[in-house]
Amino acid sequence: MSKKIRWGVLGGGGDSLIGVLHRVAASMFDAYALTGAVFNPDYTLNKAFAEEIGLPLDRIYPDFDTMVAEELKRPKDERIQVFSVLTPNFLHFPMAKKLMENGFHVICEKPMTMTHSEALILTQLHQEHGVHFALTHTYTGYPMVRQMKSMIADGAIGAVQKVDAQYYQGWINSIIHDQEKRQATWRLQPDKSGISCCMGDIGVHAYQMLEFVTGLEVQSVLADLNHLYQDNQMDIDGTVLLRFGPHVKGVLRASQIATAEENNFTIAIYGQTGALKWAQENPNYLHYLKDNQPAQVLKPGHGYNSAFSLDGTKLPPGHPEGIFDAMGNIYKGMAKAVRGEDYVPGEFPSMSDGVRGMKFIETTVDSHREGNIWKSL
């Protein structure tokens, strides 16, 4: 019998970028076998896509509830073990809840839920049922992000005193100025996306990344968010001041109307004795700065990198790795957890990342609505 983890997928069919990303990532270390799916709520399209990618139809189900019921009828050693939830935001909570209640492990796209209160419910279920949960903050899987985290923990830049994150995209700019398009885009619909578009979609990535690499937690925020039309007041741009403590502060800037930007996500961490800077569009370079010394550019795969970084590196130095590899490292970490193997907690973002992310989203929106005031997380 195959030792691969039996894997189910919810959503991500057709030309979905997220679907391709997860399927490629899951295939990287030969750890998962795609066993069953509901790729699309339209059963005809669901089956057609399964046939297109070469899957047998016996475990391609008409809907989520049927899938769970039928899988539970199977012997445990045949049943799907892990499900990936790749649906729009409003389905994350009900799907993850039912899966965990029935003993399935879950890999979930962010944001974890629509509200912080829903996230707390999932936390309780996670504890009660003893299942594993991974949240796909993909960028934490990059080897040089992991190297940044290791270096900060080892004191390479001294005590952190300033943080800066920028996440600029421009894709909504081509939508927001057309009333029909903006009304048809699910990320701009509160009932499907939640209370925030920009902060809930990309701002939360930047927030999670800052906490991940520094090992610090944001204590309070002051947000100034922006929308362009009265018929759609979902934020599509914003700036958030951050307080990690009385003497550690920073700023997070995110926008989806930064005209012509693609996926311009950068982070910079400044310490007492040095600084580290990383950019998602050039993810294989980590810039290390110290006063009165030449700037250094660190690259993946070299022996000077940490064990955590090297574990996430698949290729020899000089062979660029990208977003598929970063997501693959998250799937690799989850596979270790499901198999009961040892793993580093940072190998995949956890339930606590999801809870803090939802708290961040809600608190930034509240800060803005209440007149741009400081709010505690």
Which of the listed residues 121, 138, 155 is the one where a domain comes to its end?
Answer: 138
The answer to whether position 259 is within a domain reads yes
127 and 159 share one domain: no
What was the pLDDT predicted at 13? 95
201 and 128 share one domain: no
Which of the listed residues 138, 154, 173 is the one where a domain comes to its end?
Answer: 138
Report the domain count for the chain: 2
Tokens of 107: 């890999």
- Residue 106 CA to residue 132 CA, distance in Å, equals 6
The answer to whether position 336 is within a domain reads no
27 and 79 share one domain: yes
CB atoms closer than 10 angstroms to residue 103: 13
What was the pLDDT predicted at 3? 87
The set of residues, in sequence order, having a beta carbon less than 8 Å from that of 152 and lying 6+ positions away, is 160, 213, 214, 215, 269, 271, 276
The set of residues, in sequence order, having a beta carbon less than 8 Å from that of 284 and lying 6+ positions away, is 143, 144, 299, 300, 320, 321
CB 125 within 8 A of CB 105: no
Give the ranges where the chain is alpha helix by DSSP (H).
17-27, 43-52, 64-73, 92-101, 116-129, 143-153, 173-176, 179-184, 190-193, 198, 204-214, 307-311, 323-338, 351-369
In the β-sheet with 375-376, what is the strand arrangement from edge to edge?
A: 296-298, 286-289, 275-279, 264-271, 160-168, 248-255, 237-245, 220-226, 375-376
The answer to whether position 184 is within a domain reads yes
- Residue 253 CA to residue 265 CA, distance in Å, equals 10
Structure confidence by residue, pLDDT tens digits, 207-235: 999 999 999 999 999 999 999 999 999 99
Q: Which of 83, 75, 68 is nearest to 9 (CA)?
A: 83
284 and 159 share one domain: yes
108 and 178 share one domain: no
**CATH number for the domain that contains residue 160:** 3.30.360.10
355 and 235 share one domain: yes
208 and 240 share one domain: yes
180 and 292 share one domain: yes
CB atoms closer than 10 angstroms to residue 282: 13
* Pairing mode of beta strands 375-376, 220-226: antiparallel
87 and 149 share one domain: no
Which of the listed residues 120, 138, 156 is the one where a domain comes to its end?
Answer: 138
Which amino acid, one-letter code, is at 79?
A: R
CB 72 within 8 A of CB 78: no
175 and 215 share one domain: yes
What was the pLDDT predicted at 53? 95
The answer to whether position 321 is within a domain reads no
The answer to whether position 323 is within a domain reads no
Q: What is the mean pLDDT of each run of 10 residues along the chain (377 residues)?
A: 89 94 96 97 97 96 98 97 97 98 97 97 96 97 98 98 98 94 92 95 97 98 96 95 96 98 98 98 98 97 97 94 96 97 95 97 97 97
The answer to whether position 375 is within a domain reads no
19 and 110 share one domain: yes
**CATH number for the domain that contains residue 55:** 3.40.50.720
- Residue 243 CA to residue 260 CA, distance in Å, equals 31
- Residue 78 CA to residue 73 CA, distance in Å, equals 10
99 and 112 share one domain: yes
3-state helix, strand, coil split of the chain in percent (to 5) is 40, 20, 40
- Residue 273 CA to residue 192 CA, distance in Å, equals 45
Produce one character per residue of 312-335: b if its CB has 16 or more CB atoms within 10 Å, e if not: bbbeeeeeebebbbbbbbbbbbbb
The answer to whether position 325 is within a domain reads no
The answer to whether position 324 is within a domain reads no
Residue with tokens 């307080």: 243
* CA angle at 143 for the pair 319 and 306, rounded to the nearest 5°: 110
Domain extent at residue 221: 142-316+349-369
